[in-house]
Structure 1
């Protein structure tokens, strides 16, 4: 596959190509006419073999809170539910899950006070070490910074730090699914105020329905989930990239190809 997804380890998309060539099918639950999946019931159409669609296992549970006015057919959140059904739950606002351990939950959204995942992990580890942030005043700033970086990057033992094998610092990640102009209604909800916010700054969207006036770093929901998990694997689980989550973009990358092929064809004939 050419384009921005060329380096991904994606499962074969022949089933999608064949399904598209054959035309629309039916949702096995509601009977609606759909192409690949029913965006209302979050299931594949009856003529698309589930054995030919990948399943992705996530390292933590994911809650997606969808704005009630978000158009189901335009949302990419359903991709996550279909491809990782055991780990993803979609709620329609004002329905929000109850977070019994808020310190184990991350809200992925760029609001004031949010940190990158890298900064959050650094902050937490500094707190365990009893080290002040590097920005704080310190008479021996350079010496302090050197000591801090050695500890953070594991080049010397960390006094008093206990590591428990198999225990992850976070259990859930929460995403908001709506247009950026609709986010305030959800993000200001008091039930989300106690959650640590993390933001994604390094990635640009490839969504074909770009929101006018918004920066290219404002991602579609499935993009945000994918890039978050890529960073989570490296920064929290301390594993090199494995491509384990590439198939979250299985539908998205295929649709991207269709949209851009159609645009190219239109330009050619114009």
Structure 2
């Protein structure tokens, strides 16, 4: 997602969701979005923004901060950008018509390169249906809280459904590795009161597409047997909100971030202390820049 593309000019028509609202669950004022995050310094991004767009050393494209084609940094050093280790592997299925410069999926790949893989549809890897979930809203979806019990129930039924015969070989997103890696052996189930057992969740799948284009991927037979998980209580603050869609429909990087937060708290049973906040490193900076530009333009 390069919101600094010339044709977008900071997307001044972005939807502003920074005003505090009342939380219906407790009557208290809800915190504004992206507040209180434990983030690495944005100084390098501020400096890069002052210098302006630069050419990607791989493809020659004019970019700012990163190249969404090559999955590489542009005008920013690797040591200035946080690297994040995730507790579970992330697979992102990108719609072929999704504009690379508008997608937030690249944020995850750059910030957690060893744990995130991007595929372009119709390329979909082969999944073990009792160890993989699809994060997508809709009928039959379950919460993160209920997800693990559903996976255990599937496993106890003898290994779920037979994998679909129709499989396509992995294609490589330029600059990204598309090897379906197995879960690291060191990962442990830390749920309080649970006995030692095989770690049930291996991968989490996200669809990267405009909401109007998701149906083709969502209905693909290779995803039909996956348990579907929905983040029903989270609200987007994405500046490219699509008209007619509820504010619980999240951008890709928001969905990954909030899933991992819920997973950390409800499955690992650990108090969240900002472990995955840096997934929003680029997103939070762009959100600030865009809303500042909007204010200066008198669009608030």
TM-score (norm 1): 0.82
- What are the Cα deviations for residues 108-156 of structure 1, in whole angstroms up to 9, with x where unaligned? 0112211011123355678999xxxxxxxxxxxxxxxxxxxxxxx97xx
- Counterpart CA distance in 1 for 2:196 and 2:36 is 34
Moved >3 Å (runs of 4+)? 121-129
Which structure has the bigger radius of gyration? 1
Matches within 5 A, 1:1-270: 4-45=33-74, 47-99=75-127, 101-123=128-150, 162-164=195-197, 167-267=198-298
| C-alpha displacement of 1:242 | 2.0
Query: Which structure: greater helix fraction?
Result: 1
TM-score (norm 2): 0.74
Determine the structure 1 residue equivalent to 2:180. none
Change (3 A) 1:102 1:122: closer
State the secondary structure of the residue aligned to 2:256. helix
Change (3 A) 1:128 1:225: closer
| C-alpha displacement of 1:5 | 1.7
| Contiguous gaps of at least 5 residues in structure 2 | 1-30, 157-190
- Counterpart CA distance in 2 for 1:228 and 1:192 is 19
- RMSD of aligned residue pairs (Cα, Å): 2.3
Q: Across the two proteins, how many residue pairs are aligned to each other?
A: 236
| Contiguous gaps of at least 5 residues in structure 1 | 130-152
State the secondary structure of the residue aligned to 2:291. helix
State the secondary structure of the residue aligned to 1:18. helix
